Structure 1
Amino acid sequence: MDTKTRLLTTYRGLNAAEKLIAINITIFAVISIYNAIFYSFSGGAHATFFTDYFALKNGWTHVLYKPWTIITCAFLHASFGHLLSNCIVLYFSGRIFFTFFTEKQFITVYAYGILAGSLFFLLAYNFLPTFRGTEATAVGASAAVLAILVAGAIYAPNYIVNLFGLIQIKYWIIAALLVISYISYIPYGNAGGHYAHIGGALIGFLYSKQLIKGNDIGIGFERFWDKLMHLFSRKDKSPLKTVYKNKTTKRSTTTTTAQSSAEKQRKVDAILDKISKSGYESLTKAEKDFLFKSGKEN
């Protein structure tokens, strides 16, 4: 197996959070190498290409001519520390998220977090008096990461997190402290970024609150994502694979699989209902293991 195949195989085995971490690290590495080369051969000038074309600026004209920056800004990071902190939080919050949600829901909340963060950044810089006449640029996945963290904390507020293996704390407390910290930092720097964080947290809150009530506000995006994946998926249309199939067996297998999936979903729904009423700690070990396994399979 060559290096390319090994890397692709490893990548396909990652969950959605790990894939996003890999993508963000790769993009940061490419940009860093480009900037270092540009700086070395330009007499000390700094490259601005990626910021100019992929970062989100607060001016409406910029958004009008470069609308893709509303999304691409989330894949740029200002520094290695900025990247590292987002990757660490995404990794651990993603693991908890997959205990209760599917990968499609993860992608949906992450995407909504990006959009909400960009929207709050633009609204803050264009309508709040303190930002009048100033220019700013937004980069980073913090809003999307916070959307994932808050969505999980709202859906399972009593989930116990072991901080550093020493301190046990409820998940909702961690989320609340992070949101409060971002609000408290607004007067002291990176105010636009912190408003973007609040936007991400708010959409994560709304997503889980509505889901608990039985309203899936992400279903439209999930359908769009399915169509997008279907468009780019490679289908093997070779007729040789269908010539010798036993149609009766196929129907029987399909029916059995559908019944099994439906039974599993009913069990998952019952466990999630128990969590919403009594908290995560009320689950038995068998229920926790079943829920974790189901989340990984989805």
Structure 2
Amino acid sequence: MKKESGIKMFFRTTYQTGSPIPYILSIQVLLFVLIHIADLLVELNVIKFPLYDWLVGQLSLPNTFAAFIRQPWSLITYPFLYVGLFNIVFDCLWLYWIGNSFLNFLNKRQFLFVFFSSFLLSGVVYLALGNIDFLAKGSMPFLFSNAMGLASVVAGLLLLAPNMEIRLFLFGTVKFRTIAIIFFTLQLLFYIFANRSGAVAYGFAIAWGFLFMQQLKNGNDWSTIFSIKPKQKLKIVHQTPKTPSYRSYKADLPNQEVIDDILDKISQSGYESLSSREKEILFKVSREEQE
């Protein structure tokens, strides 16, 4: 049997899992590398044009509609733009961890809806506040990074599984709600000092994540507006409903079919429709993925 090369194994295990997270991270890292190559070319006097500053200005979201009209693509590009190494490393690690935790409970469509809709809505809020002098003041008159998407995902996960426990290297086992509150507080403090209208937009992103998850728990899945269902002829089928068998594949965890049934039930009827046994199963699966 021919041994698989390291590069092929990397691409298979990274991009063929069905998760959208590696693709999002790859775009962020690639854009970060490209703009810093541009900065290096300017520093070495290879080119005279301030390409780095121009790229950052064109890809970040300005704080007024007047400037936005000249670069409307920035509403889509600003979430992927990073200029600081620490910032992109932290956010990539955070997105990888939080995003995969979110996908342990819900599906890819729901994750993408929360993540990207928060960028668009928060971006519009940010632009609308640009004409208010008090909010427009700050050291950073533009918006970039995926902070808005992360805020919505964290808020949704916080409402769905606030008691989920996370093992931290230095602090031991900590409840997820504690980590989320600290994360929100630090980000809001940063925006308050650097970008006041950005702070309001960030608060809106948090509220949007809570609202989406609350509606999902009530049985209203807003992400289904992006699902295309083929028309089917009406059929009357008499079928005896089957009760899922909770067969274990690892410790006392159920098989994948049972997990999929539970996730479908959340999408159709909301989180509160789950029985205590089904909620316990989701919690155990999440704990197992974190270990």
Query: Counterpart of 1:26?
Result: 30
Closer/same/farther in 2, CA of residues 210 and 74 from structure 1, 3 Å limit? same
The Cα of 1:185 is off from its aligned counterpart by 4.2
1:78 aligns to what SS in structure 2? coil
Q: For structure 1, which segment, 90-99 or 187-196, has the greater mean C-alpha deviation from structure 2 after superposition? A: 187-196
Is structure 2 residue 11 aligned with structure 1 residue 13? no
Q: Please give the TM-score of this superposition, normalised by the length of structure 2.
A: 0.72
Which structure has more helix as a fraction of its residues? 1
Closer/same/farther in 2, CA of residues 286 and 136 from structure 1, 3 Å limit? closer
Query: Counterpart of 1:236?
Result: none
Aligned residues: 260
The Cα of 1:138 is off from its aligned counterpart by 1.0
In 2, the alpha carbon distance for the partners of 1:157 and 1:202 equals 16
In 1, the alpha carbon distance for the partners of 2:57 and 2:183 equals 30
Query: Counterpart of 2:44?
Result: 40
Unaligned runs of 5+ in 2: 230-243, 245-255
Q: Please give the TM-score of this superposition, normalised by the length of structure 1.
A: 0.71
Question: How big is each residue's C-alpha offset from its partner over 1:221-251, in whole Å with a ceiling of 9 and x where there is no partner?
Answer: x338x9xxxxxxxxxxxxxxxxxxxxxxxxx
Query: Counterpart of 2:148?
Result: 143
Question: How big is each residue's C-alpha offset from its partner over 1:190-230, in whole Å with a ceiling of 9 and x where there is no partner?
Answer: 3343333223212111110110111112222x338x9xxxx
Q: For structure 1, which segment, 10-19 or 90-99, has the greater mean C-alpha deviation from structure 2 after superposition? A: 10-19
What are the equivalent positions in structure 2 for 1:60-209 lying under 5 Å apart? Answer: 60-127=65-132, 129-131=134-136, 136-164=141-169, 166-209=171-214
1:48 aligns to what SS in structure 2? helix
CA contact (8 A) 2:153 2:209 kept: yes
Question: How big is each residue's C-alpha offset from its partner over 1:150-170, in whole Å with a ceiling of 9 and x where there is no partner?
Answer: 111111112112222643222
Unaligned runs of 5+ in 1: 227-259, 294-298
In 2, the alpha carbon distance for the partners of 1:50 and 1:28 equals 11
In 1, the alpha carbon distance for the partners of 2:73 and 2:96 equals 26
- RMSD of equivalent CA atoms: 4.0
CA contact (8 A) 1:275 1:282 kept: no
CA contact (8 A) 1:268 1:291 kept: no
